[in-house]
Structure 1
């Protein structure tokens, strides 16, 4: 079940990744983990596709994720700044089904090698986008904010 206390990050998609990271660092004192990502296969309503995803998470809390924009995908900047709310999920498929029953639309999913959903992005009737992230990935994903990246 999706609960408020499972919310663990706010996602921002930016056309100017470095400038966004610098702005949040200079204005609010955010510090950042390493940039992570690579080519990944995701499933959209139109079928499977590969995207080159790159992001960084703040070491500072509340946690923020900055994602490099990917034109022509859901990873494009939102007019309001916040792109999505990220939630841990113990059962991504069941939680996604609950959101679908509440009028959300599935945008992108990705499975783990064992076939369980790794993450799902869904957009609500009011435009709010939710990312459900399988809690099984928490130990690995938490490495994204365990150490600060080197300033260069």
Structure 2
């Protein structure tokens, strides 16, 4: 196995209203959400290049709760009831992604326009209908740094 369930990094939720959702998580669960500034995110979705503008937030953790604002016209970042995806940290993103494909969880999205590569993240859809995100340690560290900046800006 190329990833360990103990390496759960985050539970991802896609929401239409980031501020309202962050307030709901704070009020219901005491989750300290830091909201990030918008950022450009190039990616491949089902092999098709997209250039999206995303805005997200991250709770204190790990594991974290990740809020991602809906990206209009994106087949990936649309709200759904409950959890959108589970994100796991892996040591070798390329190998872990290939292993999931080989085991029957096809690649759905990869960061950048060059496919699966170190320093990024990927989404897979498993046969149970779940979305699994794999992110390498450097990506997890970048998210933690963005959270620290967003916290300092509050």
TM-score range, shorter chain: 0.7 to 0.9
SS state of the match for residue 141, structure 1? helix
Compute the displacement of 1:93 (Å): 1.3
TM-score between the two structures when normalised by the length of structure 2: 0.85
Alignment size in residue pairs: 149
Q: In the TM superposition, what whole-angstrom CA distance separates every residue of 1:100-134 from its partner, at most 9, and x where no partner exists?
A: 11211211101499x53511011111111011111
Aligned to 2:30: 29
Aligned to 2:5: 4
Indicate the RMSD between aligned Cα atoms, in angstroms: 2.2
SS state of the match for residue 55, structure 2? strand
Aligned to 2:126: 124
Q: In the TM superposition, what whole-angstrom CA distance separates every residue of 1:76-119 from its partner, at most 9, and x where no partner exists?
A: 0122x110001111111111111111211211101499x53511
Aligned to 1:143: 145
SS state of the match for residue 142, structure 2? helix
Distance 1:57 1:86 in 2: 12
SS state of the match for residue 135, structure 2? strand
SS state of the match for residue 34, structure 2? coil
Distance 2:83 2:31 in 1: 16
Distance 1:45 1:2, change over 3 A: same
User: What aligned pairs does 1:69-108 form with structure 2 within 5 A after superposition?
Assistant: 69-73=70-74, 74-79=76-81, 81-108=82-109
Task: For structure 1, list consecutive stretches of 5 or more residues without a partner in the other structure.
Answer: none
Mean alpha-carbon deviation: is it higher for 13-22 or for 41-50?
Answer: 41-50
TM-score between the two structures when normalised by the length of structure 1: 0.86
